[in-house]
Amino acid sequence: MSLRVDLIEGSRIALRTLGVNRLRTVLTLTAVGIGVATLLAILGIIQGLNGAFARQLASLGTATLNISRRPFVVTGDWWRYRNRKQITLAQMQMVAQQSRLATAVVPELNEESKEVRAGDQSVSNVDLVGTLADFQKLWGYEVPAGRFLTDADSDAEQQVVVIGSEVAEGLFPGRSAIGGTLRIDNRPYRVIGVLAKKGQLLGQSMDLVALIPFKTFLAVYGKRDFQVDVGVEDASQLDRAEDEITGIMRRARSVPPGDPDDFSVNRTQQLAETYQKLTGALYGVAIGVGLITLLVGGIGIMNIMLVSVRERTREIGIRRALGARRRTIVIQFLLEASLVSAVGGAIGTALGLGAAKVVSMVTSLAAAVQPLTVLGGILFAAMVGLFFGIWPAARAARLDPVEALRYE
């Protein structure tokens, strides 16, 4: 009961004191607010990017493996991968025939940074892909207009193409691209489908793409180094499928026992791990900047509370003389420090979220803050005030009542 009375009475006195010393209160909560705003603005942008990246990665297919000469992410001795033998059609067919877990096996040929033209319009940096019908299922492509490639298109070496939404908008502005003709390397292709918008992945647009039949690609560009995409029933089978495919590929490529693989079996998780390393560094920077700013704000709170203790020395002496216990004085000053810090945290939270939203509106960076992050920002700010208010509160409680009453 006594503690509850101390808390209620301490809160009332703290609110009254903060209201009387408005300028001091504003200066105190400003420092904390800036720290929380900085921290939440950076975290908001990072969390938004994380959410957008996770959605884009899921759209690539979570139950898909990729066989190629190189890993998705090349680090260290990159030259080792240049000397590896190319993947062949015979090896792809061996995977398709011998794998018990694979639900689809399709080739993928790539030519990057192509210029695509249609009349007077052109689009640059387009990724040209040669593949088969199951490519759509493996990588989650949707075709809201027209249709996707078929294996019959490949067998007949048809000059047809399915294009990304950004290519369609650039070449056929304000009209349907279906049935139109575009040129790649001065060769005409009839547009049979337009892909749904996918956005960006690691800063690169996934909508700057043009897909043509696999055998058409071979007929135009000749034999090229290609990769193989393998789909499984669900993501829980990826580990077993990777082991199975690794064994098949080692036999197909005659890799001696004990020698390292001369190919790579990739999965989208590798991209996720690379991205997490990048954002992990950003999180560290954000937390460091926020903590430094909150430290400055906390020191400001402590200094102002010490000034408040000195100014209210006689008041403290009177309260002690009338029977107030040291615990009551400590609670009063701790509540005052934590309250002003929490208010600063709330204001900083609003400013931080607003800044993150503004950044997302004027740039391509996404922004999203989880509710727990908001609550955590306010509570952490209150804890900063509580921590830095301990010394001033203890100093106020240790004042000798007789000496305090004599203070002028």
Between 55 and 152, the higher pLDDT residue:
152
Q: Residue 123 has what DSSP assignment? A: E
Q: Looking at residue 332, what is its pLDDT?
A: 73
- In contact, 139 and 222? CB cutoff 8 Å: no
Q: Give how many domains the chain has, as a whole number.
A: 2
Name beta bridge partners: 210: 128, 163
201 membership: H or E segment, kind and range? strand 200-201
Q: For residue 259, give both structure tokens.
A: 């020698």
Q: Residue 3 pLDDT > 60, yes or no?
A: no
Last residue of a domain, one of 266, 287, 316: 266
Last residue of a domain, one of 216, 247, 266: 266
Q: Looking at residue 115, what is its pLDDT?
A: 92
The closest of 222, 326, 287, 225 to 46, measured between CA atoms, is: 287
Cα–Cα distance, 113 to 254 (Å, whole number): 34
- In contact, 245 and 264? CB cutoff 8 Å: no
By percentage, how much of the chain surpasses pLDDT 70? 76
Cα–Cα distance, 200 to 206 (Å, whole number): 5
Cα–Cα distance, 96 to 105 (Å, whole number): 6
Q: Looking at residue 213, what is its pLDDT?
A: 95
Q: What are the φ/ψ torsions at residue 123 (nearest 5 degrees)?
A: -130, 130
Q: In the chain, helix, strand, coil percent, each to 5?
A: 60, 15, 25
Residues 217 and 80 in one domain: yes
Q: Looking at residue 75, what is its pLDDT?
A: 63
Between 336 and 256, the higher pLDDT residue:
256
Residues 356 and 252 in one domain: no
Q: Looking at residue 1, what is its pLDDT?
A: 45
Query: What is the number of residues in the chain?
Result: 408
Max mean pLDDT range (56-60, 116-120, 343-347, 380-384) = 116-120
pLDDT in tens, 216-268: 999 998 877 788 888 888 777 888 988 999 899 999 888 888 888 888 888 77
Residues 119 and 237 in one domain: yes
- In contact, 142 and 197? CB cutoff 8 Å: no
Q: Looking at residue 4, what is its pLDDT?
A: 59
Name beta bridge partners: 128: 111, 210
Lowest mean pLDDT among 10-14, 179-183, 196-200: 10-14
Residues 158 and 220 in one domain: yes
Last residue of a domain, one of 217, 237, 266: 266
Residues 282 and 254 in one domain: no
Q: Looking at residue 70, what is its pLDDT?
A: 79
Max mean pLDDT range (64-78, 106-120, 293-307) = 106-120
- In contact, 161 and 212? CB cutoff 8 Å: yes
**Torsional class of 203: left (φ above 0), alpha (ψ -120 to 50), beta (otherwise):** left
Cα–Cα distance, 113 to 258 (Å, whole number): 39
* Local confidence band at 74 (pLDDT 50, 70, 90 cut-offs): low
Residues 204 and 115 in one domain: yes
Q: For residue 336, give both structure tokens.
A: 């005052």
Domain that holds residue 94: 64-266
CA 298 to centroid of chain Cα atoms: 30
Max mean pLDDT range (139-143, 288-292, 335-339) = 139-143
Between 125 and 269, the higher pLDDT residue:
125
pLDDT in tens, 364-374: 566 666 667 67
- Tracing tokens 């009475």 back to the chain, one arrives at 9
Between 128 and 348, the higher pLDDT residue:
128
Compute the average pLDDT of residues 99-111.
Answer: 89
Residues 25 and 78 in one domain: no
Q: Residue 128 pLDDT > 90, yes or no?
A: yes
* Local confidence band at 187 (pLDDT 50, 70, 90 cut-offs): very high
Residues 52 and 134 in one domain: no
Residue-averaged pLDDT of the chain: 78
| Sequence-separated (6 or more) residues with CB below 8 Å from residue 45 | 356, 359, 360, 365, 366, 367
Name beta bridge partners: 67: 228, 265
- In contact, 137 and 62? CB cutoff 8 Å: no
- Measured from the Cβ of residue 195, the count of other Cβ atoms closer than 10 Å reads 25
Q: Looking at residue 11, what is its pLDDT?
A: 59
Q: In whole angstroms, how far apart are CA 45 and each of 236, 263, 295, 376?
A: 31, 37, 23, 17
- Listed in order, strand segments (DSSP E) in 89-165 are 102-118, 121-131, 145-146, 160-163
Residues 98 and 243 in one domain: yes
Residue type, 346: A
- Measured from the Cβ of residue 105, the count of other Cβ atoms closer than 10 Å reads 22
- Measured from the Cβ of residue 170, the count of other Cβ atoms closer than 10 Å reads 20
pLDDT in tens, 268-325: 766 666 666 667 777 777 777 777 777 777 777 787 777 777 766 777 777 777 676 7
- In contact, 381 and 310? CB cutoff 8 Å: no
Residues 165 and 136 in one domain: yes
Q: Residue 236 has what DSSP assignment? A: G
Residues 217 and 286 in one domain: no
Residues 134 and 219 in one domain: yes
